Amino acid sequence: MHPGLIFDLDGTLIDSLPGIAGSLNRALESQGFDSHGHPDVRRFIGNGSYELVRKALPEGSPDATILSVEEAFKQDYALTWPEGTAPYPGIPELLETLSGRRLAVLSNKPHPFTVEIVARLFPSVPFDPVMGQREDLRRKPFPDAALWIAGKWASPPAECLFIGDSTVDLETARAAGMQPVATGWGYHDADDLRAAGAASVLAEVSDLAAFLAVA
């Protein structure tokens, strides 16, 4: 029996940095705040939209300001994300080779965006379930959603692989008792992943394909 495969979304399956940065900067500028270059926004991604905005605003910004900019970001992103979001090269082909295996997506992106993006970019991939950040389950790195997925599959967590590009994904896998698989083409540097305890970092999509072929 092959293990179940839980994939992170941003920085793992899709390059969404251009779309996120565009919407974030428009939201910031609309309320009088400075914008950020892609290298900075890259560092902000991974903990959900609230944390994305909090990190982009001046330190100590009040919660009301964060929520206001976050809402502006969500409204813009809902309309514009397709302009700056695409699968990483090789990912669609990799997913095609996984037919018949249990596949899921677990992201800290707001749930409606996660569902819409996966449906649009991977319409033939049988991900079940697709989960973004929801109010009823704590976001990564808490293990709640990962364990919910394992329960849906009736799979022991130890028989699931959690595949992602961030230290948050590593922490989630460990908290859930799953095997972490660190990828190196996303938004966290390989050195940071190794410092966080990744035994190895798969540098290319082809490396992940080779790993999963024997997993």
pLDDT in tens, 86-121: 999 999 999 999 988 999 999 999 999 999 999 999
CATH number, position 22: 1.10.150.240
At residue 160 the predicted structure's pLDDT band, cuts being 50, 70 and 90, is: very high
Alpha helices in 33-163 (DSSP H): 38-44, 49-56, 63-80, 91-96, 111-121, 144-153
Question: Which of residues 83, 104, 134 is at a domain's end?
Answer: 83
111 plus 74 within the same structural domain: no
- Number of Cβ within 10 Å of residue 54's Cβ equals 19
127 plus 199 within the same structural domain: yes
148 plus 193 within the same structural domain: yes
90 plus 72 within the same structural domain: no
Residue 199 has which token pair?
A: 């035994």
Find, among 6, 3, 2, the residue nearest to 129 by Cα: 6
Residue 154 has which token pair?
A: 């009736």
Whether 1 has a pLDDT exceeding 70, the answer reads no
Check residue 99 and give its pLDDT.
85
Question: What is the arithmetic mean of pLDDT over 43-51?
Answer: 93
In degrees and rounded to multiples of 5, residue 122 shows phi and psi of -130, 60
Q: How many domains does the chain have?
A: 2
Choice among 8, 15, 165, 169 that is catalytic = 8
104 plus 178 within the same structural domain: yes
11 plus 24 within the same structural domain: no
CATH number, position 209: 3.40.50.1000
Residue range of the domain that includes 31:
17-83
At residue 42 the predicted structure's pLDDT band, cuts being 50, 70 and 90, is: very high
Check residue 89 and give its pLDDT.
98
48 Ramachandran zone, left/alpha/beta (phi>0; psi -120 to 50): left
Alpha helices in the chain (DSSP H): 17-30, 38-44, 49-56, 63-80, 91-96, 111-121, 144-153, 167-176, 190-195, 205-214
Q: State yes or no: is 76 an active-site residue.
A: no
DSSP classification of residue 183: E
179 plus 120 within the same structural domain: yes
95 plus 170 within the same structural domain: yes
51 plus 138 within the same structural domain: no
| Exposed e or buried b per residue across 108-142, where buried means at least 16 C-beta atoms within 10 angstroms of its C-beta | bbbbebbbbbbeebbeebebeebbbbeeebebbbe
Check residue 9 and give its pLDDT.
98
Question: Which of residues 83, 107, 129 is at a domain's end?
Answer: 83
Check residue 215 and give its pLDDT.
85
Rounded percentage of the chain residues whose pLDDT exceeds 70? 100
